[in-house]
Structure 1
């Protein structure tokens, strides 16, 4: 199996810190300061995801598992991440993975085509 060629990280993606102008100066951060910092963090995350780093597929798969675990818990079921993963990996082709396994499968299908959705 061929690997994708490694590309050097772009300078804007290498630093994970907030810019100096976004940090509060010499005072306790207020609620608007926290909201502003959260907006900057979301924008940074959005830029990172749109850059399609080589680990994006693994990250999306992990997020699908976490989201499915929360959705299953909200449904009132007791399956955790390990049980969800087992529901798909240990089920024979064509067999029913159960309600929780179907939720995880739906999330996996959702993230598999996300590259076309992010506007790259």
Structure 2
């Protein structure tokens, strides 16, 4: 911390600025990027749940973009923020919800099966367990974390080529498991191009290494930004006198976007709207939609 500012470890420029030509060089750089990202995902000042949600939204947007659909971040947020019990989210909303569910709970067979919401066959739990348990931390017979991840991605896409989001969620879960991370940190989806997902074997592994380098750098930048914004939110907290303010602030630190109506710790919808406007005025949060109604707020 310097001058009251929280400083995260800086990703060395040589990790992203160099032109790695050989597979060995690319693998080395992806390992360096993951080692650095490990420091970030373990850092106590980073709002980890919020970071995962933002990366999940980015991953969902990448899936939607590759499918040729026009929806982007704003539409993806809207597609899930105002769902009521029993509402059908639609294809784009389901992709967004799958990624969100994937990052909400610690990696487990049950949590992943819930996140995929029937995207894979009924035997999926057994197969997921095999993939998660198949990584040997000593590397015996399995290859490194990214190689194992690429194998799972290739396997799922070969069996279910239309279930791109499910394949990428499982691949990121295997990567998290291999790295000793408790929860999924979405990396592959945003870093892979449409043509990459048609690759196999060594070519797919190389594409996954490159995706990890790019996404780890972006995740590090995002973590630094969210950490600064979280520090600002903590700094203004003493100025807030509303009953239930603490619980409301916790929601902004853990959710990508919050509708005022979700701030149930406050006394009324009107109080919640005034609370959000006050935080915007203090520079602690942003209004994310640009609308006068059905607004969403977040760091």
Q: TM-score, normalised by structure 2?
A: 0.29
Conserved 8 A contact 2:76-2:92: yes
Match of 1:26 in 2: none
2:44 is aligned with 1:44 = no
- Per-residue CA deviation, residues 19-46 of structure 1 (Å, 9 max, x unaligned), is xxx96xxxxx563696344431221102
How well do the aligned residues superpose, as a CA RMSD in angstroms? 3.1
Whole-angstrom CA distance in 2 between matches of 1:30 and 1:54:
30
Whole-angstrom CA distance in 2 between matches of 1:30 and 1:48:
24
Q: Which runs of 5+ in 1 are unaligned?
A: 1-8, 24-28
2:93 is aligned with 1:101 = yes
Deviating beyond 2 angstroms after TM superposition, the runs of 4 or more aligned structure 1 residues are 29-39, 50-54, 90-93, 114-117
Whole-angstrom CA distance in 2 between matches of 1:119 and 1:95:
31
Give the one of 82, 87, 95 matched to 1:90.
82
- Compare 85-94 and 59-68 and name the one that shifted more: 85-94
Once the two structures are TM-superposed, the CA of residue 81 in structure 1 deviates from its matched residue by 1.0
Give the one of 10, 30, 37 matched to 1:16.
10
Match of 2:186 in 1: none
In structure 2, relative to structure 1, the CA distance for the partners of 1:78 and 1:50 (3 Å cut) is same
Q: Which runs of 5+ in 2 are unaligned?
A: 1-5, 109-176, 184-299
Q: TM-score, normalised by structure 1?
A: 0.65
- Compare 35-44 and 53-62 and name the one that shifted more: 35-44
Give the one of 57, 64, 67 matched to 2:59.
67
- Compare 104-113 and 36-45 and name the one that shifted more: 36-45
Whole-angstrom CA distance in 1 between matches of 2:89 and 2:34:
35
Give the one of 103, 108, 113 matched to 1:111.
103
In structure 2, relative to structure 1, the CA distance for the partners of 1:83 and 1:14 (3 Å cut) is closer
Once the two structures are TM-superposed, the CA of residue 110 in structure 1 deviates from its matched residue by 0.2
Match of 1:81 in 2: 73
Once the two structures are TM-superposed, the CA of residue 77 in structure 1 deviates from its matched residue by 1.6
Once the two structures are TM-superposed, the CA of residue 53 in structure 1 deviates from its matched residue by 4.7
Whole-angstrom CA distance in 2 between matches of 1:37 and 1:79:
33
